[in-house]
Structure 1
Amino acid sequence: MEIKADVKPISELMKFYFTIPDYQREYVWKAEEHVAQFFEDIENEFSENKPMNEQASYFIGSIIIVRKPDGDYDVIDGQQRLTTIVLTLCAFREYLKNKVDPNTVGTKRLEEIRKKIDELLYSYDLGTGRSKPRLILQYEEAKDYMNCLIEETDFKGDTTNSINKMMEAYEKIFSYIENIDKTYLLDFITYFLIKVEMVVIIPENISSALKIFETINQRGAGLSPMDLLKNLIFKESNQQDFAKVKVVWKEMISNLEKCGEGDKPLRFLRYFLMAKYYNGMLREDEIYKWIISDEGKKAIKYQDNPLQFAEELKESSAYYRDFVKATIADTEDPNYPSLTYIGHIGKSTFRQHIILLLALKNNLRNNKATVELLCKNLEVLVFYYTMTREQTKTFESRFSNWAKELRNIDTLDSLKDFIKTKIGAEVQNKNISFSQVFKTISEFDIRPQYRVKYYFGRIENYIRQMSNLPVHPMSYYKSLQIEHIIPKTPDGGNIPQTFKDKNEYEFYLHLLGNLTLVESNINQALNKVNKITDADWFNGKTREYRKSDIRLTQSIAAIINIGANTAWNNFANKNLFSFTSWGKDEIIKRQELLLALTNQIWKVSV
């Protein structure tokens, strides 16, 4: 493998014409982070009072380029840095042109520096009368913005995320230039041109270039496994497939962006590999190492057909997008309502269940009813995991181990057997310990509040389903208030003598049996019924509970039969209780009622 590698100052980049191919990543550097660090590091190395020949050089990294038949160079690595250098040169040029008085800095020196900057930005052909930019961005997101900037013409196209990043970077750089002491401005620009250096690596062909890119970034503090994987797929692909790979990769990233995961693609990649190929838990920092290992090559077979592997990633990212969107939805997803329930249990960042969904074979995964069957039972398991405070890493490990079996299942009957033997057995085990401790479970055990509302909301909807009444979306229950039947702040601070002390009162106050959901207007009325030492205080509560649309809350006051032998009458009289007084015994009795309903709702079913 023939490789040329030379250290070159920025002033010598005028010897090259660079092209950033359309399959490369668009400009993503953040102005306040990457660009600020880039400029500040250079500024910190510059010594204002030293002659230029005594200034220390500053190394900013490397670029990997490959010579094309027309003599230009494709940039394989370093496009973010190279683009930022060109943005800086353009900012220098504008500032010197519009903000600097030649009489204060010396006309000759100013003209020579401006001439050098122009030469670094473009060349001019006297014969054709045309200029040629030294950096061309071919990726779609750049459009003609960089050309317009280099040629000092107005950009009139639509902006993209990449163009916005370049605009923000340019403004940040310009603001830094404005703050440089004007006495040393030309010295600083000169320092930037002749003392800021980079290694220019020129392999013999693109295959060698991609291999060098992989080696540099894998061994150093380089790119993420996702970027390395993209490079690997290009390296293994035929060059004529590059355009296809680029489109497929872009669609995959777009899918992740559509579900809010564009800035953390490694979670998708990790879950995809654990679902489809890797056996067990795979750490993020081990992803790429495993992919290029003999085991990874044998499992994935990306060397045989890299484009097909990219297509598989894209396809799975579309499912991942749908599964994440259903999980974070406020209202039940029409296809996967149980995923929305999982999101309400675990919080919006909960994703571990998706490992198992991605493991499904396509013939099962393409059937939404089949996916929902698995989701429904996963909701049951996640419910018990959450209620028993199972550590996230424990069930993530379990899901990754189950994925090994699930990825080989190709019939609905086999999936049902999997649900019964794996999820069912785990639920049964967790339910035993859950039932044993439920008598003392309080709101503190299932907080935060959104989870408390989820719990009572699911019970209320179950009551409505069994009674042939319309159910509410889960978002409705988020708007309700959590009502403490014996109040959190009893009027005057007095508590009934049936409680031996304040600690005992606090214990019963927070038990689930003492909680229910009420509408805001009813909650306001209930705030006036807090004199718990009055004999009539509970009647005051029940008068308000009767007005609620929440059947679980209504039933505390009374079970009102509707018609004769209706579904509501049958269910309510069998499963709900009403109360004429309220104290410790009643709270325990309602706690038992909630446990019975819990066991009816959260159970494995196929």
Structure 2
Amino acid sequence: MAIQTKDLNLKEYLRALSAEIPDYQRGYAWENEQISQFLEDLVEEYIANSDKSEKSYFFGTIVVAKEGNSKAQVIDGQQRLTTITIFLAAMRNYLNSISETAGDSANELCEEINHDYIGRETSRNGSTYKLRQRGEIETYFREEIQKPKNVFETLQLTRKEGRKPPRNAIAQAYNVIVNWLENDLASKQSNDVEVYPNDGAKAERIVHLVDTLLNNFFIVEIESNDVTTGYQIFQNLNGTGKNLNAGDLIKTDFFGKVTREETKEIANKWDEIQSITGNDDSTEIIRYYWNAVNSKFATKRSLYPRVSKEIKTSQEIFNFLDDLLKVVPSYMAALGADSDVLDYRDTQVQLALKDLRSLKLKSYLPILFALELNDATDDQVADVLNSICSLMFRNVVIANEVANKFEKLFAQGAVQINDDQSIEMLIDELNTRKISDELFKDALLKYNAEGSLDIARFILRKFEHLDDSTKTLNGNQEVHVEHIMPQNPEDITSWGFENIDDNSFREHLWALGNLVLLDSKKNTKIKNHSFESKKAEYANSGLRQVHELIEQDTWNAQTIEKRTEKIAERSVETW
């Protein structure tokens, strides 16, 4: 058994890389949040160390097994290596798309990326790709990511290969980076002047970002000469011990800055916070609070150094912890802790928080904390939360914009509240950020609910409440989402389609207009029956949206499209 370790920046590592990800490894799994955090860290690293080319950002450990002269088998680190390749491919493709006006340095970087960091296919040497995906995404990854393109555009998602095609995870990651880069290069200064006014400036921005990634980001590679040992190393690295989080570091830092007499009081306040939250890791609440009261935005990575640098005296520490205690009830209510939801503010605030929880949103918490610290009224809190819900539902949930970009918007809004900006001005600002009614409606008309029935349930539950406020559909899980046209119909021709493999059938099956709320017993009972049989059972439901279906004579593509249109129009009015 032989084990080697080395730490290298990504430039050195990728140049020497010749590895493959076995098909038995789990597929690519990074989602918008992880990719957005990677991009945010990259920009922050560039700002902090733009004049340096030294290894300063630890990007993680990579474990490989290499037997003889074969390619290294990646055991741990495949998510990071895949993301790096996708990022470099997107940067290269953008530079290719402006090659005639970007300048020589941009064209040289494209060649460097192809030759040194991604690899390519040549007539003499065949494939020299640095990273080879195995399994069903191998061809897609090579053709759509690794091979150069002269156009810069998002990749099409597909639903033709099963419920959640693995290629979609790759495509979605690429699309997130494409959308992020377009927004980054379109940045404007406070006087509305473009930061990167021409292709040369845009190319220079990309060169700087790529250089930061390659020179400043570094990894530690652990290589064994057999797969079994590699997996033992992986298990030991991931299965033992507990890393200190930012909250732990801040707590330790505070204790080091106060007198012995003050230590007990600090400990009591800290214990009170953690006993209420029921969580030893206070990083999240601290970060949201920090971004609520400070103009210097903190990521998870930068939180500890920011707090340590700014909070120095005993009084500042006590004020910090006292403020945290003030926002704990709003934090717990936002998370849905029963006792706090019942006691926290009025019904309208509770309903707004429930909607935000249903959408799995928390990035707005700095604004909620600022409202709490500034003694906002219940009506003001409800109005702001509903505006946030509309913004995020339109832009993030339906239009699939990156959620992380709104974190800074919400942090800025919180700071403005602390600076006595009016609540009305904040609401106006939030409303101006919403995508247009036309774009929102178009996204809803195209929305495919497969794999995201919670969103359909959220929309339909909201409508039921608006139609009949006496109903108590309080939880997103208390009702089931019924396919009016079933997934496996007994007779598909009775629904106007030829066979279950028809693409049009799949599209209409998961359209919003083909979905309705129903209690679980009725859902099970009517199963895959004809529309006439379903209507007989629908008559026993107490939900208004179900009763509306009874008036329909048939159910087919046209009626589904008509109901989808109706849902989209009402959604525009509601959000």
Partner of residue 589 from structure 1, selected from 552, 562, 570: 562
Match of 1:228 among 249, 254, 259: 249
Contact 2:247 / 2:282 at 8 angstroms: preserved in 1?
Answer: yes
CA distance in 2, matches of 1:225, 1:434: 38
* CA shift for structure 1 position 544: 2.1
Corresponding residue for residue 388 of structure 2: 378
**Paired position in structure 2 for 1:336:** 350
How big is the shift at 1:451?
2.7
Shift of 1:245: 2.0
Letter of the structure 2 residue corresponding to residue 230 of structure 1: K
Cα deviations across residues 381-401 of structure 1 (Å, max 9, x unaligned)? 222121112222222233223
Q: Percent identical across equivalent pairs?
A: 19
Q: RCO higher in 1 or 2 (8 Å CA, sep ≥ 6)?
A: 2
Residue matched to 1:270: 287
Q: Which amino acid in the other structure matches residue 521 of structure 2?
A: N
Task: Indicate whether 1:292 and 2:308 are aligned.
Answer: yes
Deviations 1:68-104 (A, max 9, x none): xxxxxxxxxxxxxxxxxxxxxxxxxxxxxxxxxxxxx
Match of 2:540 among 523, 535, 547: 547
**Alpha-carbon distance change, 244 to 449 in structure 1, aligned in 2, over 3 angstroms:** same
TM-score relative to the length of structure 1: 0.50
Aligned to 1:423: 430
Q: 1:315 to 1:542 in 2, by over 3 A?
A: same
CA contact (8 A) 1:481 1:518 kept: yes
Q: Distance in 2 between matches of 1:319 and 1:497?
A: 51
After TM superposition, give the deviation of residue 594 of structure 1 in Å: 0.6
Give the AA of the match of 1:325.
G
Counterparts of residues 391-406 of structure 1 (less than 5 Å): 391-406=402-417
Per the normalisation by structure 2, the TM-score is 0.52
Partner of 1:119: none
Q: Are positions 1:364 and 2:368 aligned together?
A: no
**What's 1:53 paired with?**
none
Distance 1:437 1:376, change over 3 A: closer
Give the distance between the partners of 1:330 and 1:589, measured in 2 at CA: 38
For 2:243 and 2:342, the matched residues in 1 are separated by: 41
The Cα offsets for residues 227-246 of structure 1, whole Å up to 9 and x where unpaired, read as 33223333333433333222
Q: In 2, are the aligned partners of 1:329 and 1:340 still within 8 Å (CA)?
A: no
Residues in 2 aligned to 1:425 and 1:276: alpha-carbon distance in whole angstroms? 23
Amino acid at match of 2:389: E
> Displacement, 1:425?
0.9
Q: 1:502 to 1:361 in 2, by over 3 A?
A: closer
**Alignment match, 1:459:** 463
Instruction: Work out whether residues 545 and 557 of structure 1, in 8 Å CA contact, stay in contact via their aligned partners in 2.
Output: yes
The corresponding residue for 2:489 is: 490
Name the structure 2 match of 1:61: none
Note the residue ranges of structure 2 that are not aligned, 5 or more in a row.
1-241
TM-align CA RMSD: 3.0
Where do 1:81-480 residues align within 5 Å? 223-257=244-278, 262-280=279-297, 282-293=298-309, 296-297=310-311, 302=313, 304-325=315-336, 334=347, 335-346=349-360, 350-360=361-371, 362-365=373-376, 367-384=377-394, 385-409=396-420, 414-420=422-428, 422-427=429-434, 429=435, 431-444=437-450, 447-465=451-469, 470-475=470-475, 478-480=477-479
Give the secondary-structure state (helix, strand or coil) at the position aligned to 1:516.
strand
- Distance in structure 2 (CA, Å) of the matches to 1:371 and 1:556: 37
Q: What secondary structure sits across from 2:404 in the alignment?
A: helix
Give, in whole Å, the separation in 2 of the partners of 1:330 and 1:344.
14
Flag the 1:364–1:329 CA change in 2: closer, same or farther, 3 A.
closer
Is 1:353–1:399's contact at 8 Å kept on the other side of the alignment?
A: yes
Measured at CA, do residues 487 and 409 of structure 1 come closer, stay the same or move farther in structure 2, by a change above 3 Å? Answer: same
DSSP 3-state at the match of 2:268? helix
Q: Deviations over 1:440-493 (max 9, x none)?
A: 22212xx4333322221111111114xxxx121322x62323222222112155
Q: Is the 8 A contact 1:435 1:595 kept in 2?
A: yes
Count residues in correspondence. 329
Q: Distance in 2 between matches of 1:371 and 1:542?
A: 42
* Counterpart AA for 1:273: W
Report if aligned partners of 1:513, 1:589 keep a CA contact under 8 Å in 2. yes
Report if the CA contact (8 A) 2:359-2:393 is conserved: yes
Query: 1:439 touches 1:591 (CA, 8 Å); kept in 2?
Result: yes
State the alpha-carbon separation in 1 of the partners of residues 512 and 339 from structure 2: 26
- Give the aligned partner of residue 30 of structure 1: none
For the Cα contact (< 8 Å) 2:486–2:528, is it kept in 1? no
- CA shift, 1:424, in A, is 0.9
**Larger C-alpha radius of gyration, 1 or 2?**
1
C-alpha contact 1:483 1:515 (8 A) present in aligned 2: yes
1:484 touches 1:514 (CA, 8 Å); kept in 2?
Answer: yes
Unaligned runs of 5+ in 1: 1-220, 531-537, 559-578
- Aligned equivalent of 1:502: 502
| Aligned 8 A contact 2:398 2:447 in 1 | no
Tell me if the contact between 1:255 and 1:317 (Cα under 8 Å) persists in the aligned partners: yes
